[in-house]
Amino acid sequence: DTGVSQDPRHKITKRGQNVTFRCDPISEHNRLYWYRQTLGQGPEFLTYFQNEAQLEKSRLLSDRFSAERPKGSFSTLEIQRTEQGDSAMYLCASSFLDSQETQYFGPGTRLLVL
């Protein structure tokens, strides 16, 4: 399967702990996106990369959040000092370098902060 993959699929952590999620995009895709989805809502944009450059960050992405895509392939999203409000599904998507292109989503990482 050459779709977008995410790891882990589920994460339970205690408030104050740090967590890191990984996304592996479709191999030939230049763009990689992170979204967050809370229960009953649609996904909300967090940030995106074009190759290794992080080109846009949402105001939702507080300074406790950091995302990287060091070699222009996989990406990591780290949340420091987690809070209960961080509990959500974190979705990764990738696409070709074209604003008209479809974004393909991974299965998501469901985070629960206790």
Partner 1 sequence: SQQGEEDPQALSIQEGENATMNCSYKTSINNLQWYRQNSGRGLVHLILIRSNEREKHSGRLRVTLDTSKKSSSLLITASRAADTASYFCATNQGAQKLVFGQGTRLTINP
Which chain residues interact with partner 1 by CB under 8 A? Answer: 4, 6, 31, 33, 35, 40-45, 48, 55-56, 58, 89, 91, 93, 99-100, 102-108, 110
Whole-number Å distance between alpha carbons of 27 and 19: 25
Q: How far is CA 2 from the centre of its chain?
A: 18
Kindly state the smallest distance separating residue 29's Cβ from partner 1, in Å. 13
For residue 96, report the phi and psi dihedrals to the nearest 5 degrees.
-75, 170
Min CB(61)–partner 1 separation in Å: 12
* CB closer to partner 1 out of 18 and 62: 62
If the CB atoms of residues 16 and 37 are measured against partner 1, the closer one turns out to be 37
Q: How far is the CB of 16 from partner 1 (least distance, A)?
A: 26
∠ CA 91-47-19, nearest 5°, is 60
Whether residue 109 contacts residue 9, with contact meaning beta carbons closer than 8 Å, is answered with yes
CA atoms within 13 A on the CB side of 73: 2
Closer to partner 1 by CB, 44 or 83: give it: 44
- Please state the closest distance from residue 30 (CB atom) to partner 1, in A: 11
